[in-house]
A and B are shown apart, each in its own frame.
Chain A
Amino acid sequence: MPEVVSATGLMKSFSGVTVVKGIDISLNAGEAHALVGENGAGKSTVIKVLSGVHQPDSGVIKFDGREVTIANPAHAHQLGIFTVHQEPALMPELSVAENVFMGFHPHRHIGPIRWVRMSEMNARCEAVFQRLGIQMDVRESAARLTIAEQQMVEIAKSLIHDVKVLILDEPTATLSLHETQTLFSIVKRLMSQGTAVLFVSHRLHEVFELCSRVTVMRDGQMVAQRLTSELTDEQLVNLMVGRKVDLSLSRPYIRQASSPLLKVRSFNKPPYFQDVNFEIFSGEIVGLAGLIGAGRTNVAEALFGIAPADSGEVYLEGQSLTIRNVQSAIDHGIVYVPEDRHKHGVALSMSIHRNITLPSLPRTSKWGISRFEDESNLARQLKESLRIKASSTEQTVSELSGGNQQKVVFGKWLARKPKLMILDEPTRGVDVGAKGEIYRVIRELANDGVAVLVISSDLPEILTLANRILVMREGRLAGCLSRDEASEQSIMRYATGVSLVSP
């Protein structure tokens, strides 16, 4: 396969600190090349150099065999290099077609006016969509699209030009599995038409699915460049992190109690969820899988009292229970680690101490007056047992990494000694090294007898953690899989309601 673009000896430093130290990378026509590494390894900088946002300090970039300087993003577009970001930037008020042709609308001149030829634009846009196999109304306004659809529009944007190199910067981070599959089939179609792809992702199984070669970066350096066929998951993770990370299979679980900790019966809150029945035992980790919008978060928020269910019964240790608000949930030992950490999990500008102790204030105070000693002891204790990396408990949460921020949210609830912990996408925005840490915390919790309900769109994660997996589809529980029955295929079969052909 011919080489389209290559970079050799790429170096880049910002204010005297070298961020990229000698990267060699080459992309071949019709091939997907993965670029992986922990947060801050320098992947973004490499992408920005290739797409003309940054200029390298040294190193040679060759395009079609000729040495080039990619002066700015517009120049990159002329060469045929396009980037699709994690969060697409479309103009929400414009139609899909207008977004696709942004800046290149077909037009004719009527005097000084550039008259956009709408029908021609729409027709050409439809042609592009057909080539990609996208089904979407080109006249729809962009504001109504899902993130996955917006990304497809971004890809289509590159297609009205001659796309030679497509850079995908974590495109799947916010997509559900089904949407990811659609995106991948489009990318594969482009590859078969000779486009070179550079793929950045934290989801390693996607790297193995899509890419034939992988470059691993750590601390700005290239650690390895391999064929994906020569690597296992575990080897790749170890290369990225540079130490051994335990993302290994689920811990054994033997049900000890005869009756469940929590029993949910005909739980209803239309249109979000209907007739949900399940139970969880102490010490058990139950996965809750499903597509985005299947109602998983709604069930969790109902159990936690944020938006209580309309009807249905909840039994905790055999006792019937009404959850009217968050306080009653917490008082009964039900806690929730929300999906959007910055919005609902922590106050970023406050200290670890203040965040962790908030729900425990009644326990570290007397007559509403706080006892500083008890409070800071509690914060320190949790910081240590969760191994939160921070200079002290007085450090501001915004200064911590995503993984450590998540541990602060965990700490907040561990201080209340919960019976049931509901985790909503617990490792979103957390890098691979910290993921292992979070998994360790979750397993320790279960070992201590806490029942854990894990909501996750990351199937390998759910398969790794859960002892049992519930699958939701369109607001209903579609299936319950034991450890042995569960696989990505079987989960997806229940989640989508159709059997997928395994790739």
Chain B
Amino acid sequence: MEMIVFSAVAPGFLNFENLMSSTNNFMAVGVMALSMTFVIITGGIDLSVGSMMSLCGVSMGLFWQHGLNIWIAAILALVLGALLGFINGQIIVRTGIQPLIATLATLFIYGSLAMVLAGQGDGSIYGFPQSYLFLGTGSLFRIMPVQLLVFSFLALVFGFVLQRTNYGRRVYFIGNNEAAALYSGVRVQHVKTYTYVISGCMSGVAAVLMGSYFASVRGDMGLNYELTVITACLVGGVNVFGGSGTIFGVVVGAFILGMLQQGLNMLNVSSVEQSIVTGLILIAAVGIQQMSGLFSRRTRRIKKDRMSDLGLVSTGRE
């Protein structure tokens, strides 16, 4: 629907090459939304993804400045992301601090570290080699953006892990009943920690993609990304209280947001004004899910009351 509206009001929106290359704008969000899905399904949240992205990006730049090959620097950035995520996870499972609070704290810490490392003010690092820049802006056979390719591959992997592996099963089960998972022998703390490790690692991937796309890294490159990432998950139908959500839904959510941004850009709507639309989309998307969910839940409850009066369902009271 969005596509039809934009193609009507902004000529050239439906241009295929344009559409494909426009995905380069939001693949970083998409990649982080994939791992955020795991975190949210277990009942957690990771507010520090934007800050981890900044810190990974800046570190990659510094490694490269100090003479490392850019690709090795990129891999080190991913490792650093995983480490930062591991710290998040350990804070959460060992101290029992709410994920919201723990990652809010690390949002400040990691974000600030990134700024310090980059050097305040004009703290950007640029001048990366061409082979690396191809990752963010290049296309295979002139039509398939490399970023989209990377994202598609990761989405398939994440979808597979969530649906088809034991790890994915445990992620869902923890989100539905953490205590029962523990009483069933699931290593709840391991599983939860890994969701944050993956989240950190994907922040690293996002940093590598964005560094390449903008041909520079900055201490604030990931600023406010966490909000967009979480929005993509919610628009994609992930339950903010955990227990349900799919990778497919999140991919759709990321594309709705990304295409929206692209369309509004072409209409010369400023990014400040775009946020209004983003907010409206969030309310609309989650509202629709809630209403349909609410209605079904409500009708189910009525049915259940009736059935318990009939004795068809045990209510646990009798």
Q: Is B112 among interface residues, defined by CB-CB distance under 8 A? A: no
Contact A306 B183 (CB under 8 A): yes
Q: Is A225 among interface residues, defined by CB-CB distance under 8 A? A: no
In the assembled complex, the CB of A83 is this many whole angstroms from the nearest CB of chain B, namely 13
Q: Is A108 among interface residues, defined by CB-CB distance under 8 A? A: no
Q: Is A369 among interface residues, defined by CB-CB distance under 8 A? A: yes
Asked, given contacts A344-B180, A349-B243, whether A370 binds B311 with beta carbons under 8 Å apart, the answer is no
Roughly how many angstroms separate A326 CA and B187 CA in the complex, as a whole number?
A: 8
Roughly how many angstroms separate A359 CA and B181 CA in the complex, as a whole number?
A: 9
Residues on the A chain within 8 Å of B186, using CB:
358
Residues on the B chain within 8 Å of A346, using CB:
177, 180
Residues on the A chain within 8 Å of B298, using CB:
none
Contact A347 B177 (CB under 8 A): yes
In the assembled complex, the CB of A277 is this many whole angstroms from the nearest CB of chain B, namely 26
* Chain B positions 171 through 210: 1 when the CB is less than 8 Å from some CB of chain A, otherwise 0: 0110011011111111100000000000000000000000
Residues on the A chain within 8 Å of B17, using CB:
none
Q: Is A429 among interface residues, defined by CB-CB distance under 8 A? A: yes
In the assembled complex, the CB of B163 is this many whole angstroms from the nearest CB of chain A, namely 9
Roughly how many angstroms separate A76 CA and B169 CA in the complex, as a whole number?
A: 52
Which of A40, A326, A368 is in CB contact (< 8 Å) with B314?
A40
- Taking CB atoms and an 8 Å cut-off, the chain A residues in 352-390 that contact chain B are 354, 357-359, 361-362, 365, 368-370
Contact B165 A369 (CB under 8 A): yes
Roughly how many angstroms separate A262 CA and B172 CA in the complex, as a whole number?
A: 35
Roughly how many angstroms separate A448 CA and B21 CA in the complex, as a whole number?
A: 65
Roughly how many angstroms separate A431 CA and B315 CA in the complex, as a whole number?
A: 12
Roughly how many angstroms separate A343 CA and B316 CA in the complex, as a whole number?
A: 13
Q: Is A17 among interface residues, defined by CB-CB distance under 8 A? A: yes
Which of A14, A338, A354 is in CB contact (< 8 Å) with B310?
A14
Asked, given contacts A17-B310, A327-B185, whether A429 binds B316 with beta carbons under 8 Å apart, the answer is yes
Q: Is A320 among interface residues, defined by CB-CB distance under 8 A? A: no
Roughly how many angstroms separate A69 CA and B304 CA in the complex, as a whole number?
A: 29
Residues on the B chain within 8 Å of A399, using CB:
313
Which of B165, B173, B179, B308 is in CB contact (< 8 Å) with A40?
B308
**Stretch in A42-50, A60-68, A309-317, A449-457 with 4+ CB within 8 Å of B:** A42-50
Residues on the B chain within 8 Å of A39, using CB:
311, 314, 318
Asked, given contacts A39-B314, A399-B313, whether A348 binds B306 with beta carbons under 8 Å apart, the answer is no
Residues on the A chain within 8 Å of B308, using CB:
40
Contact B306 A40 (CB under 8 A): no
- The residue in chain A whose Cβ has the minimal distance to the Cβ of B178 is A347
Roughly how many angstroms separate A400 CA and B183 CA in the complex, as a whole number?
A: 20
Which of B166, B243, B306 is in CB contact (< 8 Å) with A370?
B166
Asked, given contacts A14-B310, A39-B311, whether A349 binds B183 with beta carbons under 8 Å apart, the answer is no
Which of B166, B169, B173, B185 is in CB contact (< 8 Å) with A326?
B185
Q: Is B295 among interface residues, defined by CB-CB distance under 8 A? A: no
Interface size of B in residues (CB-CB distance below 8 Å): 31
- The residue in chain B whose Cβ has the minimal distance to the Cβ of A375 is B169
Which of B187, B306, B317 is in CB contact (< 8 Å) with A44?
B317
Q: Is A15 among interface residues, defined by CB-CB distance under 8 A? A: yes
Residues on the B chain within 8 Å of A91, using CB:
none
Roughly how many angstroms separate A357 CA and B314 CA in the complex, as a whole number?
A: 24
Roughly how many angstroms separate A38 CA and B317 CA in the complex, as a whole number?
A: 12
Roughly how many angstroms separate A354 CA and B184 CA in the complex, as a whole number?
A: 12
Q: Is A345 among interface residues, defined by CB-CB distance under 8 A? A: yes
Which of B165, B184, B318 is in CB contact (< 8 Å) with A43?
B318
Q: Is B153 among interface residues, defined by CB-CB distance under 8 A? A: no
Q: Is A275 among interface residues, defined by CB-CB distance under 8 A? A: no
Roughly how many angstroms separate A336 CA and B317 CA in the complex, as a whole number?
A: 24
Contact A14 B309 (CB under 8 A): yes
In the assembled complex, the CB of B115 is this many whole angstroms from the nearest CB of chain A, namely 39
Q: Is B312 among interface residues, defined by CB-CB distance under 8 A? A: yes
* Chain B positions 46 through 66: 1 when the CB is less than 8 Å from some CB of chain A, otherwise 0: 000000000000000000000
In the assembled complex, the CB of B220 is this many whole angstroms from the nearest CB of chain A, namely 38
* Chain B positions 26 through 38: 1 when the CB is less than 8 Å from some CB of chain A, otherwise 0: 0000000000000
- Taking CB atoms and an 8 Å cut-off, the chain A residues in 1-38 that contact chain B are 14-15, 17, 19, 38
Q: Is A170 among interface residues, defined by CB-CB distance under 8 A? A: yes
Residues on the A chain within 8 Å of B243, using CB:
349
Q: Is A56 among interface residues, defined by CB-CB distance under 8 A? A: no
Contact A170 B318 (CB under 8 A): yes
Q: Is B164 among interface residues, defined by CB-CB distance under 8 A? A: yes
Q: Is B167 among interface residues, defined by CB-CB distance under 8 A? A: yes
Contact B176 A19 (CB under 8 A): no
Q: Is A412 among interface residues, defined by CB-CB distance under 8 A? A: yes
Contact B309 A401 (CB under 8 A): no
A selection of 25 A-B contacts at a CB cut-off of 8 Å is A14-B306, A14-B310, A19-B310, A39-B311, A39-B314, A40-B314, A43-B318, A45-B309, A170-B318, A325-B187, A330-B185, A336-B183, A344-B179, A344-B183, A345-B180, A347-B177, A349-B176, A350-B176, A358-B173, A359-B185, A369-B164, A400-B314, A401-B314, A412-B184, A431-B318
Please list the residues of chain A having a beta carbon within 8 angstroms of any beta carbon in chain B.
14-15, 17, 19, 38-45, 86, 170, 219-220, 306, 325-327, 329-330, 336, 338, 342-350, 354, 357-359, 361-362, 365, 368-370, 399-402, 412, 429, 431
List of 5 A-B pairs having minimum Cβ-Cβ separation, nearest first: A40-B311, A347-B176, A347-B177, A361-B166, A401-B314
Please list the residues of chain B having a beta carbon within 8 angstroms of any beta carbon in chain A.
164-167, 169-170, 172-173, 176-177, 179-187, 243, 306, 308-314, 316-318
Q: A330-B185, A401-B313 are in contact. List 15 more A-B contacts (CB 8 A).
A: A14-B310, A17-B310, A19-B311, A41-B311, A86-B317, A338-B183, A343-B179, A344-B183, A347-B177, A347-B180, A354-B173, A362-B166, A401-B314, A429-B316, A431-B318
